[in-house]
Structure 1
Amino acid sequence: MPEGHTIHRLARDLRTTFAGAAVHTGTLQERFAEGAAKLDGTTLAKTEAHGKHLFLHFSQDALRSTVHIHLGLYGKFPIQPQPAQPPRGALRLRLENDTAWADLRGPTACDLITRDEHDTILARLGPDPLRTDADPDRAWARISKSRMAIGALLMSQDVLSGIGNVYRAEVLFRHGISPFRAGREITREEWDAVWADLVVLLKAGVRAGRIVTTRPEDRPRRGRPRREESFYVYRRTGQPCRICGAEVRTELMVARNLFWCPSCQAH
């Protein structure tokens, strides 16, 4: 499932490509036929990302003028230059103008919603480190009182938005925090450092279009790191820790494989 940096990058690219002018919309799926017809020929006013949720706000007076999208595990929304290919298959939504087109396929959600419904969705989500209006104190209020493991809390989108399996594993390693420690055992100083690091890492992910969490001094060579050089522990089960040499371990936590170093992240 795409993590938060991917959705923010997509929102940025859709805004750059389609916002501010009339957009043609279409679909090949009955479930979104009415929505696509209502939006066809209207102007995309702005795009918005919050965690793993994407919103397309269209400038029209209709009650429902915002498209809410959640890509889920299989959703794709690539932007391509004209000429467009003929619509085909399980096409949920096409955006098109004179220079580009983008086909949304396989999302978990794609619905035309009201402003109140948009606000309701945001209200149930935790703060997103990539948003300027994010309040890390909201997440801290939940974490500091919880008996749940911090590795599970970071994956709870109602606690913190946009963090997935990669950022969960890597940010905890970068701060030497065991993923099994209860949230209430995390100090405020540790949380502030984790939040600040997530802001930096996610912004870098938006710029680069990929996740890189290793520091330059911890990579075997200079320059753009290869994928296998980009992480400290993620998907490195059984390999030596880049810092201490201990064997990286994995265990299932909240239905996802958790990766950690038992030495650098000791209880």
Structure 2
Amino acid sequence: MPEGHSVHRIARQFQRNFVGRPISASSPQGRFAEGAALLDGRTPTRAQAVGKQMFLEFDEEVWLRVHLGLYGAWDFAGEILVDPTIASANGRMGQTNQRGTDLADADDAPIFDDAGENSLASIGAPRRTRVHVRMSEQTKGLDEADGLEAEDAEWPPPVVGQVRVRLLTASTCADLRGPTACAVETPEQIAAVIARLGPDPLVGDPAENEERFVAAVRKRNVAIGQLLMDQSVVSGIGNVYRAEMLFRARLDPHTPGRAIPEELVRGMWRDWVGLLRIGVETGQMMTMDGLEGEAWRKAMAHRDDRHWVYHRAGLPCRVCGTEIVLEEMQARKLYWCPNCQR
């Protein structure tokens, strides 16, 4: 399931490419025909992510709420203006030509990981080019449209697969596939959804967010490994960030929230703030510290080289050499070191 950083990146794409531009909306699949009819012809006015949910506001106080769930993904095509405030995967702004695929400096070459994720190209230096970008946790990156020049590419792009909703401006297309939730809602309904969500480091007052997190954790006699996955406690954390944050805090996943010292809980929140920002900037869940140069690029290219414990069951702990344990907690896989986290 996409974790919080992916949804924030998607919201930024909508903010830059759709907000302020009239759209046509359709449901090629047919399952969202009524909702698409309500959105068709409207102009998006704001895009916002809170945790794993995205909220797209339109004129006349109409909202589209999307939760990608396990299988959802947005595919962007057309003239993509990428957010210039987001760094490339190697920590710098990638310099591209107008086609967006050839790089002027070999040191800034795109970094594809072994699952096809390309954080450098999916959000990097500002550019306008006809591209195709898939955005979810398993971001597929950016590909030139069959090697064609922009003016030769078919427009609008053909519908491929089961597209729940297509949002189309004069130059940019966004196709949504496989979401858990896709609904047109009122401002009151949106407010109610957000009120049920825990704090998100990138939304609202930072100090208030920290206090909400600390209070929510320390009042519960529930394992911290469960609390971090509870979206009413904290927004955006999924399986990867949970395992990595617990290891970074050297905390046993089974420790009840109310048994954790306050300063340790605050430290976890502040760690989440930093990790989420890195994820938004790079597009990848980089949770190891101190990597530079080739080590950083290697970690960007191979997710097994960027995590402390996640997906390392049976392998030696990077710190103490103890075998990493894999167990199930609330039907989700949990990786941890029984020596470092005791």
Is 2:341 the partner of 1:265? yes
Mapped partners of 1:186, 1:6: distance in 2: 29
8 Å CA contact retained: 2:64, 2:182: yes
Indicate the residue corresponding to 1:252 in structure 2. Answer: 328
Pairs aligned (count): 262
Mapped partners of 2:335, 2:293: distance in 1: 21
Provide the aligned C-alpha RMSD in A: 1.7
Mapped partners of 1:161, 1:4: distance in 2: 7
Is 2:219 the partner of 1:222? no
- 1:94 is paired with a residue whose SS is strand
Is 2:64 the partner of 1:67? yes
Q: In the alignment, which of 197, 213, 221 is matched to residue 271 of structure 2? A: 197
Indicate the residue corresponding to 2:280 in structure 1. Answer: 206
Moved >3 Å (runs of 4+): none
Measured after TM superposition, the shift of residue 88 of structure 1 is 4.8
- 2:235 is paired with a residue whose SS is coil
Mapped partners of 2:294, 2:258: distance in 1: 39
Measured after TM superposition, the shift of residue 31 of structure 1 is 3.6
Structure 1 stretches lacking a partner, 5+ long: none
Query: How do residues 164-203 of structure 1 correspond to structure 2 at under 5 angstroms?
Result: 164-203=238-277
Mapped partners of 1:31, 1:228: distance in 2: 38
Measured after TM superposition, the shift of residue 142 of structure 1 is 2.2
Measured after TM superposition, the shift of residue 76 of structure 1 is 0.8
Measured after TM superposition, the shift of residue 126 of structure 1 is 0.8
Per-residue CA deviations over 1:36-93 (Å, capped at 9, x if unaligned) read: 12211211101011101111100126xxx10010000000112111633233542211
Of all paired residues, the percent bearing the same amino acid is 45
Mapped partners of 1:182, 1:116: distance in 2: 35
8 Å CA contact retained: 2:68, 2:178: yes
Query: How do residues 115-154 of structure 1 correspond to structure 2 at under 5 angstroms?
Result: 115-133=187-205, 135-154=209-228
- 2:340 is paired with a residue whose SS is coil
Is 2:299 the partner of 1:243? no
Structure 2 stretches lacking a partner, 5+ long: 79-129, 131-154
User: Structure 1's 220 and 19: CA in aligned 2 closer, same or farther, altered over 3 A?
Assistant: closer
Per-residue CA deviations over 1:135-186 (Å, capped at 9, x if unaligned) read: 1222222211211100000001111110001000001101111111110111
Mapped partners of 2:340, 2:293: distance in 1: 19
